[in-house]
Chains A and B, each alone.
Chain A
């Protein structure tokens, strides 16, 4: 009698097994979708590089990177970012060796993937010779500093 009831339980389990598997797989797609979109939501913007040069191409990237300029050059800084956000603030503060702020400006962007943002400065009567630096900030936090020099011809 014991063996008969044992067999009955085993048979019921085998019959119920397909029902249990079906219930688990239904929620799988929803879980995977949730995890995937969760990964996409955490794609915060990061500065990947800052380059200096005398001109930029149509893609906003400097054509020939350099850290030495002449007084009458237009000085470009290209900031490459990666990531997505609806509101990202990029700021540049350009400074001279004596601590003076040469110029500062910011731009708010809404990148969706890789982006190139350029800032440039120019001075009609030429930049004084000397050492300079540009401090790049992302959402209020300094992320990179590039030094350069202006040399009189």
Chain B
């Protein structure tokens, strides 16, 4: 290479991505989000009830049984065992 030859400094130059901005959002809530201030309700368990049935009745979605279970951990040890007469807290949808 002669003294007037200059190396092609663009030859191996990689694109710079250091100024890329990113963000995200979801229709699903984040874990541990505090419950909204809306009034919560309670539900008195009747004979023949189970958490899935209660969730289906209240939320229209049986999968919501887990939210009811989490909100009543202080009185429900086993989600399969609820007793008639139990007063369950129902988180708002």
| Chain A residues at the B interface, C-beta cutoff of 8 Å | 29-30, 33-34, 36-38, 40-41, 43, 59-60, 81, 84, 86-88, 90, 92, 94, 96, 98, 100-105, 107-113, 115-125, 128, 130
> Besides A36-B52, A119-B24, 17 other CB < 8 A contacts?
A34-B80, A37-B52, A40-B63, A40-B65, A60-B27, A90-B26, A100-B14, A102-B20, A105-B22, A109-B31, A112-B63, A112-B64, A113-B61, A116-B26, A117-B27, A122-B22, A123-B19
Given A29-B48, A103-B20, answer yes or no on A117-B15 (Cβ-Cβ < 8 Å). Answer: no
**CB-defined contacts of B80 to chain A, threshold 8 Å:** 30, 33-34, 37-38
Q: B29 touching A107 by the CB < 8 A rule?
A: no
> Which residues between 9 and 45 of chain B lie within 8 Å of chain A, taking CB atoms?
14-15, 17, 19-31, 33
Q: In the complex, how many residue pairs between chain A and chain B have their CB atoms under 8 Å apart? A: 113
**Complex Cα distance A113/B27, Å?**
10
**Complex Cα distance A65/B90, Å?**
39
Q: B17 touching A96 by the CB < 8 A rule?
A: yes
**Complex Cα distance A38/B24, Å?**
33
**CB-defined contacts of A128 to chain B, threshold 8 Å:** 15
**Complex Cα distance A34/B24, Å?**
38
Given A36-B50, A98-B14, answer yes or no on A59-B27 (Cβ-Cβ < 8 Å). Answer: yes
Q: A109 touching B30 by the CB < 8 A rule?
A: yes
Shortest CB-to-CB span from A17 to chain B, Å, is 26
**Complex Cα distance A94/B21, Å?**
12
Given A33-B50, A59-B27, answer yes or no on A43-B21 (Cβ-Cβ < 8 Å). Answer: no
Q: Which residue of B lies closest to A56 (CB)?
A: B25
Shortest CB-to-CB span from B22 to chain A, Å, is 5
Shortest CB-to-CB span from A49 to chain B, Å, is 14
> Which residues between 42 and 79 of chain B lie within 8 Å of chain A, taking CB atoms?
48, 50-52, 61-67, 70, 79
